[in-house]
Amino acid sequence: MRKAFSILKIPLVIGLICAPLIMVLDGENEAGAFSNQIIQKGATGTDVIELQTRLKHIGFYTGNVDGVFGWGTYWAVRNFQYEFGMDVDGLVGPDMKAKLAKTTKYAPGQGSKSPDNSQTNQSKPKDSNVQAKNVPSGYSQNDIKLLANAVYGESRGEPYEGQVAVAAVILNRVQSASFPNTVSGVIFEPRAFTAVSDGQIWLAPNEKAKEAVIDAINGWDPTGEALYYFNPNTATSGWIWTRPQIKQIGKHIFCE
């Protein structure tokens, strides 16, 4: 109970400070629910929902209110800043929030009136209205899930670094001339991964595996551009030992 109170306290204090200020500016509007963070491109959460709703209200933003500060929102913010004679930097700071509060209406919960409510993530009630996700450019959430499945099936007992490494090897293969050119092509290549052959790929991956995949897509490659790896205790191919070895991470030896 104490904890709940202390979490409530912060917006309450901000609300108390801001309320008279905004009421002076515009008696009609409620105090904004914006927290005091500076919102920048790439951010997700309730603040972004409020921002999008408010910008949509005055016609600057035409996309979906999805809770992710993407390009559409970015241009809307910049246009707003331009129209109102502010610095055009795409950052939503206190000035811009005040301007927004003055010119637009927002009732919390407004953004969630979309029919897609069933899709929202119930484990995090705080962000329950956020209906989209950031994905690394060029990859879909389903690609990421498939990769996470493969990483989890192949290396769930490995250290985090080893999981990123397995994801990196898959991505290196997609890039490589001697392997298929798609994520699914590489993963389902016959005999390429034991987890695929024995069905362990269909175990539900944990959050660690997903994080490892996103790191690998974003450029982390702990393997030094390896194309193969094997567990020296269970390797069934003699040929794999002839590949130039780069390093060992956990139980896996990575090679070129």
Partner 1 sequence: MIRSLLIGVLAVGVVGTSYWGYKEHQEKNAVLINAENTYQRAFHDLNFHMDALEEKIGSTLAMNSRGSLSPALTEVWRLTSEAQNDVGQLPLTLMPFNKTEEFLTNIGSFSYRVAVRDLDENPLSDEEYETLKNLHSHSNDIKNELRKVQAMVIDHNLRWMDVELALASEGQPQDNTIIDGFKTVDKQVEGYSEVNWGPEVTQLNAKKENLDKNIKGKKLSEEEAKKHVIDFLDIDPKAKIEITTTGDESKYKAYSVSIENKDKKSSTNLDVTQKGANPIWILMDREIGEQKLSLNEAADQARAFLKEHDITNMTISESSQYDRMGVFTFVYQQGDVAIYPDAVHIKVALDNGDISGYESQDYLTNHHERSLITPTISRDEALDQVNPNVQIMDEGLGVIRNDLGEEVLCYEFMGTIEKETYRIFINAENGREERVEKMDGTEMNYDTA
- Contact criterion met (CB below 8 Å) for 15 and 67: no
> Any contact of residue 39 with partner 1 (CB under 8 A)?
yes
**Contact with partner 1 (CB under 8 A): which of 11, 15, 63, 108?**
63
- Give SS3 for 255: strand
DSSP 208-251: HHHHHHHHHHTT--TTSS-SEEE-TTT---SGGGGSPEEEEETT
> Any contact of residue 59 with partner 1 (CB under 8 A)?
no
Burial 68-96 (b: 16+ CB within 10 A, else e): bbbebbbebbbebbeeeeeeeebbbeeeb
**Contact with partner 1 (CB under 8 A): which of 20, 42, 94, 109?**
42
What is the amino acid identity at position 69? Answer: F
Residues 138-197 within binding reach of partner 1 (CB under 8 A): 140-142, 159-161, 164, 177-181, 185-186, 189-192
Q: How many residues bind partner 1 (CB under 8 A)?
A: 75
Give least dist CB 238 to partner 1, A.
7
Give least dist CB 239 to partner 1, A.
6
In the complex with partner 1, which residue's Cβ is closer, 107 or 140?
140
> Any contact of residue 135 with partner 1 (CB under 8 A)?
yes
x/- mask, partner 1, residues 9-38, rule CB under 8 A, reads --------------------------x-xx
> Any contact of residue 81 with partner 1 (CB under 8 A)?
no
Query: Residue 46: how many CB atoms within 10 A of its CB?
Result: 19
- Give SS3 for 130: coil
Stretch that binds partner 1, among 24-32, 52-60, 68-76, 100-108 (CB under 8 A): 68-76
